[in-house]
Amino acid sequence: MPLSVHYWIADYILYPAVYYIARYRRKMVTKNLQCSFPEKDDETRRQIAKDFYHQFCYTFVESIYGYSITDDEMRRRVVFEGMEEVNRLIDAAGGGIFMLAHFGNWEWMASLQQWLSPGVTELNVYRRIKSKAMDKLMLDLRAKRGGVCVEKQRILREMVRYRAEKKPIIVGLISDQKPRPEVTRTWTTFLHQETGFLDGGEVLGKKFGYPVFFLVISREQRGFYRARMQTLAATPKETAEGEITLAYARALEQNILAQPALWLWTHNRWKWGRVKK
């Protein structure tokens, strides 16, 4: 089906069902927006919520549509900027780390493989879904453009193997999930709230000496995204502890403030607070 038909389904079937009928996580979204944007009035936050639910439905239909389109069309719909510098740094270090978030259509960001230098492999870290059918579907979608999906528990082993075989890689990590408070080492004020952050990107970058990047995403119009690679650390081993993770938090916050409806507000991001020792 044409993408316009997918969007019609998203706007007139999925959105009413999710927002008005099922009221999917409406209370969570309202709470998150109130705490993140206390300076905004109720009507503004309500409009952000509605825009978010539309984007939520768009992400679903776009991901399905993206499975059948050509590489050329995907390159037209998702444009990656700053790849010359990224490829240069990867070539020099033998690999790289890019940290992204549940922002825009994060599933389409797996098309980064098409923008890498020949011979560089994109490894996408993921968690297995309980449903075998859904797990297979998501793996197929994410590997469609040539990237390789690797379970979180196996990523270190795979990175060691690729380096031993002298094969350059770039590792994609969605880094905005909530970490367990007892193992969280990096905390900061994020969207007016004390927030803990996963530091896997920083740890891997320092361990392997790979440059670390953040993917700044913007939606140019419906179905078209621009993704800019921002360098968080070209030489991570020279950075202080927590410096890269805090840089990620600041970059993500700015990305959210620019287009707040594009972040995944249904996530219970602030479920846990800091553990007192």
Tell me: the pLDDT tens digits for 121-152?
999 988 777 777 767 777 777 777 778 888 88
pLDDT at 166 over 70: yes
What is the helix (H) or strand (E) element at residue 256, kind and residue range? helix 243-258
Q: What is the pLDDT of residue 180?
A: 84
What is the per-residue burial (b if ≥16 Cβ within 10 Å, else e) of 127-149? Answer: eeeeeeeeeeebeebbebbebeb
Q: What is the pLDDT of residue 250?
A: 98
Strand-pairing partners, residue 194, are: 189
Q: What is the pLDDT of residue 277?
A: 57
Name 248's Cβ contacts closer than 8 Å, sequence gap at least 6. Answer: 99, 175, 197, 201, 202, 214, 232
Q: For the ranges 3-12, 175-184, 212-221, 227-236, which has the lowest average pLDDT?
A: 175-184
Q: What is the pLDDT of residue 276?
A: 64
For 195-220, write each residue's pLDDT tens digit.
999 999 999 999 999 999 999 999 99
Q: What is the pLDDT of residue 123?
A: 93
Over residues 9-15, the mean pLDDT reads: 97
CA distances from 6 to 1, 12, 107 (A): 7, 10, 16
CA 249, 97, 85, 260: dihedral to nearest 10 degrees? -30
Domain spans of the chain, in order of start:
3-66, 72-262
Over residues 159-167, the mean pLDDT reads: 95
Where residue 275 falls among pLDDT bands split at 50, 70, 90? Answer: low
Q: What is the pLDDT of residue 273?
A: 76
Nearest CA to 59 among 19, 104, 102, 15? 104
75 or 273, greater pLDDT? 75
- The identity of residue 53, as a single letter, is Y
Q: What is the pLDDT of residue 147?
A: 81
Where residue 265 falls among pLDDT bands split at 50, 70, 90? Answer: very high
Over residues 253-259, the mean pLDDT reads: 98
Centroid of chain to Cα 267 = 13
